[in-house]
Chain A
Amino acid sequence: MEKFVTLTSVAAPLPEADVDTDIIFPARFLLLLDKVGLGKHLFHERRHAPGGASTDFVLNTPPFDAAKILVADANFGSGSSREQAVWALSDFGIRCVIAPSFGEIFYSNCFKNGVLPVVLTGEAHRNAMSAAASGQPFVVDLESQTVMFPNGPAVPFEIDPYRKRALMLGLDEIGGILAEDADDIASFEARHRASQPWLFLDDGRLDQLFDETEPS
């Protein structure tokens, strides 16, 4: 995973609550099998008029078409679990989203892809939104957990220590679990199997259930 340490960029303002994952990445593009190259479908309906022409949506408008930061509003990324929403943002170049609150699965998906979601509420968020509109760059620094607006003071934000570390080092979470926790998982599994054996299906039982699958 790409590391996230600091980021300096203009920030695109999107002052609208409840921007859901269907807006960020419309469902019909979920048929694609890849996770790269999805940026062209990011906010598809907002960025393209029905005939296909570009709209004046903020991410189509310089300097924000090169923004690496998005300042969004409450409940950003609510809705579905589609990680495509994050892959599309990051493919477009967005590495940090600032909002008062996030859809929970979206929030967690960000961290798997080197994207930093920053929660700012109240006045700090209002300041971020108006500072973004100025088109001047923000500085996001993960180490000190601060966002610096143009000509403004550094504003602190909260983040789980574990997620911070994973982002800063670009850790591979799965590799980490396999390397460090495999023994614990194995012994847990043995205990768990003994206490709730019905949770452990065997292949035989599943085969019995599914051996009449359709001719294909």
Chain B
Amino acid sequence: MSAHTLYDKVWQQHVVKQYDDGTSLLYIDRHLVQEVSSPQAFAGLVAEDRKLVRPAAHIAVADHAVPTRLRHLPLPDGLASRQVARLQENCARFGVHYVGMNDNRHGIVHVIGPELGFTLPGATLVCGDSHTSTHGAFGAIAFGIGASECECVFATQTLRQKRQRTMRVTLNGALQPGVAVKDIILALIARIGTNGGVGHAIEYAGPAVATLSMEARMTLCNMSIEAGSRVGMIAPDATTIAYVRGRKLAPKPEQQAAAEAYWLSLASDADAVFDREVELDVSALVPHVSWGTNPGETAPVSSRIPDPALEADPARRAKMERSLHYMALQPGMRLDEIAIDKVFIGSCTNGRIEDLRLAAEVVAGRHVAPSVSGIVVPGSASVRLQAEAEGLDRVFIDAGFEWRDAGCSMCVAMNDDRLQPGERCASTSNRNFEGRQGQGGRTHLMSPAMAAAAAVSGHLVDVRSLKAAS
């Protein structure tokens, strides 16, 4: 039998049928539903008088539009409250389980799926959200889909898909203190480009991946889409199994042994062939920050902003010039001299408990710079409760941060957490697109520790220099 990759193994287990045009009908095990991409999908079912075939395959939660403060009050009348209410109505109508805004299981879809054990190794999982790649950290084929595809999953439990090519990213070496998995993914995107992974399912492998916690693995897979890949995966191992075991929706005790044995068999065979291989030695890596308006426009924090005049490709040059204009930055400027106004710690990339611990470690005993205001938004209620049990909320509040309820918040600025035009933010989210954190806002992406360091310094800074100084 020929050798197979992790992606191939999970894929083959889900092919309902192969069409003769090279596409396959892929069975979808699980679907996470949120308020932004689902109204039109539910409306499609109604218009065509179609059934939602397997309600127990879906979980719904409102995360994008919800406020992160005063949650006990009814939502103010307006578009957001209508959108959240619509999700709730649709779920009631079609029998889909809905996690309420004040439920202890509430949170960003990509944080609560794994927490609940809804996300499982070897599954196919989709969501009308591009960061669904997060769940690949468990060895699931998980990918973002549009609203029409959400409707297709509701109605058929399948999607017609073409098998992706495969790309293995081997991470060698070990991270230095103060350098985070966020720096790995930013450096990788800077290297292969924001479309470097298009058409490929990425598998992250190698010694540096084996030592990562599930939280860190999720950060890595989360930003695969920023490299152009819908799918990012990591083979299930003992770390994966330990995380899943005992979760609310994990396999029942009598199924556990069989499930775990199967999950461990999913690893890519030693002689499996990938369509593309990339290697990165992470031991030499330093903290990175983005300077432009896509995640590929990223550089070591100790470096200078590149000069568009040196870019040969005219479209790329135009893009760089536009980025610098939008960001109000000059070529040649040192990145660690850029002053900031706001700090956002949160999102499905870096809103998990470990992220908050790393940020809290930096701010403990320090204070947010006078010119800066910062918010910490846990990725889920369960992350918030855990952080509060550890006293992290006090650390942040004492340092001058605001401590909020869970949601997407200033990652996407669909609620009232947003930058004002011209404001500059150190952010642990995943996208620095124009206007992403609020119309006219300027985003610098970085790790939680780096965002915390920027908050207390008032400007972008290498978190390692801060540690040495204290």
Contacts and interface: CB of A to CB of B under 8 A. Distances in A.
Interface of A: 15-18, 20, 22-23, 26-28, 30-35, 45, 50, 73-75, 78-83, 86, 101-105, 108-109, 112-113, 160-162, 173-175, 177-178, 181, 184-185, 188-189, 192, 195-203, 205-207, 209-210, 212-214, 216
Given A105-B146, A201-B57, A213-B98, A174 B120 contact: no
Contact of A45 (B17, B40, B228, B435): B435
Nearest to B318: A16
Interface hub of A109, A173, A196 (most chain B Cβ within 10 A) = A196
28 contacts: A15-B315, A18-B293, A22-B435, A27-B436, A30-B414, A31-B82, A33-B39, A33-B83, A45-B435, A50-B440, A79-B433, A81-B145, A83-B147, A101-B195, A103-B228, A162-B21, A174-B50, A174-B156, A175-B48, A177-B25, A177-B156, A185-B158, A188-B27, A196-B13, A199-B120, A206-B97, A209-B248, A214-B101
A184 B225 CA distance: 32
Contact of B40 (A23, A83, A174, A195): A83
Contact of A15 (B120, B155, B318, B436): B318
Interface in B106-151: 116, 120, 122-123, 128-130, 132, 144-149, 151
Nearest to A206: B97
Could you say which interface size class chain B belongs to?
Answer: 35 or more
A177 B152 contact: yes
The binding surface of chain B is classed by DSSP as loop
Contacts of A30: 36, 64, 414
Contact of A81 (B13, B56, B129, B249): B129
8 interchain residue pairs of minimum CB distance = A198-B251, A214-B100, A112-B148, A31-B79, A83-B146, A109-B146, A22-B433, A214-B102
Given A162-B22, A162-B23, A188-B27, 16 more contacts: A15-B318, A31-B36, A31-B80, A74-B315, A78-B194, A78-B228, A78-B294, A79-B433, A104-B199, A108-B149, A175-B48, A196-B122, A201-B57, A203-B56, A205-B56, A210-B105
B346 to A, nearest CB: 16
